[in-house]
Amino acid sequence: MIRPAHPDSLLVIVPAFNEEAAVGRVVREIREKAPEADVLVIDDCSLDQTAAVARQAGAEVLSLPYHLGLGGAVQAGYKLAYELGYQYVIRSDGDGQHDPQDIPKIYEALKRSGCQMVIGSRFLEGEGGQTTLVRSLGIGFFRLVLRPILGRPVRDPTSGFVGVNREALQVFSKSFPLEYPEIEALVVLQRRRFRFLEVPCRMRPRLAGRSTITVLKSFYYIIHVLLGVFVNVLKYERRRR
Amino acid sequence: MRELLDFTTGMSLAVILLVLVSVRRRHIRVEYSVSWLGAALALLALSRWPVALEKLAGWLGIGNPPLALVFIVGCLFLVVLFRLSVIISDLKDANIALTQRLAILEYRLESAHGTQGAQG
């Protein structure tokens, strides 16, 4: 079983669903670029050999008995990491779009800044890779929506390449948005007056498979997330002193 | 109007019968049958008591009592559907939490037995 080996213990969680073609390389790259980190693949009840491939590549695997979707899988990883006592957790997607070379950068930023969340941002340097027009419009829209809520600008609110410290881990292990979690998670943290930081990261083409995002799904995403944001804004939460 | 009221009476009795049989056969839990029985009994009362229906239609500002009945049916079933949505949401939250807990326990168990790396 993975265990935190030192006070600044880092766990990289990789939510994966039917990613047998990419997850092995993702795990090997993470172990190579961030040797100090433990790697946990959360297999979201894949129909293929995702779990076996991840184990062969050297990761531990948390296998969900039912498909929960991205938020449920990520939260399962957060729960286990919190219970095992990890100080920092970085999420990296199983399709290989997040470059493991940037993990040490996020880890250092988490330790150095004291922020509860560090976002690997595609837009701090350059144009953010292969983002579609609809997605770009959506990101621009949410930047505008989040600016007054967060009290500061956020360049890449939809990034899934995110690191959290133990304070945020505690919150997310109890309360985490289950569908399209990235933007809502920012609002959840803001309600506790937690801080976040963005560091520049690169986005690569996915190693295998293709995106399931369509124009129709993008509009559904915008409406769903917008509703989730406002529900979270209206929610009463006991503020941190 | 008479035909509509008779039809509503028949429907209400059918729903009550169906719910009671379902509860008896344990296809539906007692606590989830209450909304359906309440709605069906309300419709039964209105369909057999035209004076009450006319009064209710007057309060609602609907000149036509059959139209008021259709409106009330819609409202009652909206309430029932909303209650079911709340129940389904609760069940989904519970399922997600249980699934996560089960996965974590399995992981810990496999790790304790040293089988985590040996699978696949």
Confidence class for position A164, pLDDT limits 50, 70, 90 = very high
Chain A residues closer than 8 Å to B117 by CB: 55, 60
Q: Given B99, B111, B116, which is nearest A64 (Cβ)?
A: B99
Residue A237: other Cβ atoms inside 10 A? 13
Q: Would you state the pLDDT for residue A241?
A: 40
Could you tell me which residues are beta bridge partners of residue B65? none
ipTM reported for the complex, 2 dp: 0.85
More confident residue, A6 or A51: A51
Core vs surface per residue B80-92: b (16+ CB within 10 A) or e: beeeeeeeeeeee
CB-based contact B119 A55, cutoff 8 Å? yes
Residue A237: is its pLDDT beyond 60?
A: no
Question: What is the distance in angstroms between the Cα of B117 and the nearest Cα belonging to chain A?
Answer: 6
Residues A184, A180: Cα–Cα separation, whole Å: 8
With the CA atoms of A153, A166, A42 and B100 taken in that order, what torsion angle do they form, in degrees rounded to the nearest 10?
A: -110
DSSP per position, A47-65: SSSHHHHHHHTT-EEEE-S
Residue A139: is its pLDDT beyond 50?
A: yes
More confident residue, A198 or A179: A198
Residue A104: is its pLDDT beyond 90?
A: yes
pTM of the prediction?
0.83
Q: Are A198 and A102 in contact (CB under 8 A)?
A: no
Say if strands A38-43 and A117-121 run parallel, antiparallel, or are unpaired. Answer: unpaired
Q: Given A52, A63, A68, which is nearest B106 (Cβ)?
A: A63
Query: With 0-12 CB in 10 A as exposed, 13-18 as middle and 19+ as buried, what is B33?
Result: middle
Residues B96, A177: Cα–Cα separation, whole Å: 12
